[in-house]
Structures are given as structure tokens and as C-alpha cells.
Chains A and B, each alone.
Chain A
Amino acid sequence: MDTNETKASIYGPHLPAMERTMEEILVRVEEIRERLTKKYGSDPIEHCLSRIKSEESMREKCRRNGLPETTESALSVCHDAIGVRIVCAFLDDVYIIRDYLKKIETLTVVEEKDYIRRAKENGYRSYHMIFKAEAGYYVEVQLRTISMDTWAALEHHMKYKKAELANEALIVSELKRCADELASTDISMQTIRQMIFSEDSK
């Protein structure tokens, strides 16, 4: 066996094409953003991040799921090699942008999971979509509000902290409480925004 093979990317020769797919999607997101900004007078997207899952994380994910570390696993079995995260200011914007994304003719929706309407047990909230792009690559899009994003960042720290946490149960339940409070605040802010707009239209 060629000793260089272990050093070859798990994505094989696909990386440049994957990057182009990601760029194309970002261009479409930018178009949606401009259209909505014009329509509503304010930018619904707080920020948008994208990444191609690193070599190391992808291999680790394959191992964790008992998959062979092959290009097939990385591109066809796993659906998150290309990831886009769109963070919105308000809750309704998440659903508005979702609807716009579904209208993009070069993307086919493979799966949608609404972890906002049905939060994960630990309190995690986000709207997950998996698309298949024209070039054949899967793209995972996560849509969430700023407060959901803040929460996820903190939860991520806890989850990946190497040392065993002595008070883990307390932290987990307090994080869940915060998630539920933030979700509540998101709805209140949304409601206030509606009230402001209805004042405008009077």
C-alpha cells in the first residue's frame, strides 16, 4: 500500500468543488439577505458562517459512528461535510429565510429538522436543513437566532471540556433552564416587534 495514502484527504479530489458549492450557496444567501433587507427595511441575518468540516473532525466522526474513513463515508453517508450557519436577529426570520432557501432551484431539500418547535432534551434549539446541491454534495444548513447561538456556544464549551465536571448534572440542568428562558425571550422580542410594526401600520 502506498504510504502516502494515509495522508491523502478523506475528501479525495473533491475539496475544490466542495468549496465552489459552498461559495455558490453563500452567494444565494447574500441574495436573500439583500432582497429581505429591501423588503423589510432591516437585515434579517445577523451573521452567516460556513466551513468545510476539517479532515480531523470528519475522520473522528467516521470513527465515532463506526464508518470506514473513506470519501464515500465523508460525502455520501455524512451530510455535514459542508456546513452553513445562518444566525438571525428574530425568530420569525429563521422561518422566512428557510422558505427562501427552499425556493432555490439548484438545491434539493433532503431533510428538515425543527429543533426550535421541538427542542432537544438538553435545550438545544436550531432549524436544521440538509440540501443536495447540483454538484452532488450535501450541505447542512443550520438556522437559529442570536440567543440560540449564544447558548449553543456555551453548551459546546461544556461538552468539549476535557476534564470531568464534578457538578455536571447541575450545569446540564441550569443550561436547560437558560435555553428555556432564552426561548421565552425570543418569543417576547418577536411579539414586541410585531407590536411595533402594527403601530407603524396604523
Chain B
Amino acid sequence: MKILFAEDTADLNRAVTVVLTHEGYTVDAVLDGEAALEKLKNDSYDVIVLDIMMPKKDGMEVLFELRHRHILTPVLMLTAKVEVDDRVAGLDAGADDYLTKPFAMKELLARIRALIRRNEGYAQTEIRFADFVLNTEEFSLSSGNSVRLSIKEFELLQALVANADKSLSTEYLIEHVWKNERDAQEDTVWLYISYLNGKLMSIGSDAKIDGTRGGEFQIQG
């Protein structure tokens, strides 16, 4: 695991680097924002930690620029300020978390671990429900037989399984699975529910999604 750490206070920079290295991370430590962006040109990281107040380019500018370059690495902002507006601006600009100085080393480490975990999507490769298995790496659905699902079918089934204890409305599914895509409508949801029911049947599963066109849906094991 590789971390880019940008912090202009030399003592703190050194101390954190020592701790992170001790924890087994590979650390590229820099003292200003320009150096951080320079590192990002040649290397990729698992987590980026940015101090907000830095010379040459501050943490916010670095954050804007790296997101503009489509770098999706999780970013943790360090801030001396306690103003809510700063934190809000940082999170809105694409930071994943922030930590207010002074901070306990233990907390910094825990937050870094959390960011890495989140990025790995909890690493769950198999979702089991009733008599079928949904493989999240291959997008395959299997019971007696197996089939491959499209991305939307997969996401829809995942949402239904995660909410198996309740009915989900068509509106909820359009909002959460289709993220309110312009073309998504009642019939889109209904068609995809029908696809999934056909596919569940084809793999020999007894699970079935109950519901009617435009209404609420719930998966039954």
C-alpha cells in the first residue's frame, strides 16, 4: 500500500512518515502542494493525505487539480482550522475524509485503513441469497446453472438482495440503481425485473422477485 503524504511542517511530516512506514505503508512525503502534484504525475497511490495549509499550492488546489485529472484515489484532508465551511468545501471538492489538527496518530491510522477498505468495496466477492450466488467480480448469477448479468441487472439484483426484508418502490429503484438517468422510467425497471426473473428461473433458482409494473418489488427466497 502506497501513500502520498503532503505536509509542510517538517517535524510533523517526519513523525507521520516514520509511523506510516512502521505500519508497513510505502510513503512518499512532500512539503508542498506543487511537489505533491509532481509526484502524482509519475506515480499512483492507494491513499493521499493532504494538509490544507501548504506553500506554493494549498491542499484544496491540489485536490481540485487531481480530481480534475480524474485521479480517483481516496483523499484525506488535514486541517488546522475548525471552521465547518472549510471541511464542507473540502468534502464537496472530492475529499473522502478530513482530520482536524492536532490529531492522535491512532486516529490518522484508523482513517487511512477505513479509506483503503472503502476503496476495496469491502472485498465481498460472493453474495449468497436463498439458493443462488451472485459473484461480484464476474457478474455471474448461479444456482444449478449459471448466467452472466449486465451491469444494471447486477446492480438491481444487489439492491433487491440488500433490501430483501422490505419492498422497494419503482421510484426508489430509478433513483438508486439508475441514478435518475434521464431515460430510466417505470417500464425500464419492469423490463429489468422481468429479465432477472427469467434469469433466476433459467439457473434453476426458486427465488423470485414479486411485484407488478410500476409498483413495489421484493425478492423472495
Contact = CB atoms under 8 A, between A and B. Distances in A.
Interface of A: 116-119, 177, 180-181, 183-184, 187-188, 190-192, 194-195
Contact of B195 (A116, A119, A177, A188): A188
Interface in B179-221: 187, 191, 194-195, 198-199, 202, 204
A183 B202 contact: yes
Interface residues of B, number: 17
Q: Which 7 pairs between the two chains have the least Cβ-Cβ distance?
A: A187-B198, A184-B147, A181-B148, A180-B148, A191-B194, A183-B147, A180-B147
B146 interface: yes
11 contacts: A116-B202, A118-B144, A177-B148, A181-B147, A183-B145, A184-B147, A184-B149, A187-B195, A187-B198, A191-B195, A191-B198
A175 to B, nearest CB: 13
Interface of B: 138, 140, 144-150, 187, 191, 194-195, 198-199, 202, 204
A159 B36 CA distance: 55
A119 B145 contact: yes
Nearest to B146: A180
B205 to A, nearest CB: 11
A2 to B, nearest CB: 52
A195 B198 CA distance: 13
B191 A191 contact: yes
Contacts of B198: 187-188, 190-191
Contacts of B187: 195
A195 B148 contact: no
Given A187-B198, A191-B198, A117 B148 contact: no
A107 B199 CA distance: 33
Contact of B191 (A116, A180, A195): A195
A195 B147 contact: no
A194 B145 contact: no
